[in-house]
Amino acid sequence: SFTVRIASSGQSVTVAKDQSVVQALLAHGIEIMTSCEQGVCGTCVTRVLEGECEHRDLYFTDAEKAANDQFTPCCSRAKSAVLVLDL
């Protein structure tokens, strides 16, 4: 598991192995708009302020993934222990 932190509120949410970031946030009342939930459409794209993303989408180019400043929380995860999201 890893933790996502909401930059605006400082709230931390643990993301379990068997849940997506979107699911974990929703369980804490934080809703992110989704559509495909498979990393294809880009609807859920969220800016990342700190931490290292583990990109699992087909939406971003390799260069965009390497920039490490946005990710798709419907399917992507974190390599670092904490990911700070611009929410």
Question: How far apart are the C-alpha atoms of 26 and 32, rounded to whole Å?
Answer: 8
37 is a contact residue toward ligand FES (CB under 6 A): yes
CB 37 → ligand FES: shortest distance, Å? Answer: 5
CB 72 → ligand FES: shortest distance, Å? Answer: 4
Return all residues near 87 (Cβ < 8 A) that are at least 6 apart. 6, 7, 8, 25, 30, 32, 46
19 is a contact residue toward ligand FES (CB under 6 A): no
CB 76 → ligand FES: shortest distance, Å? Answer: 8
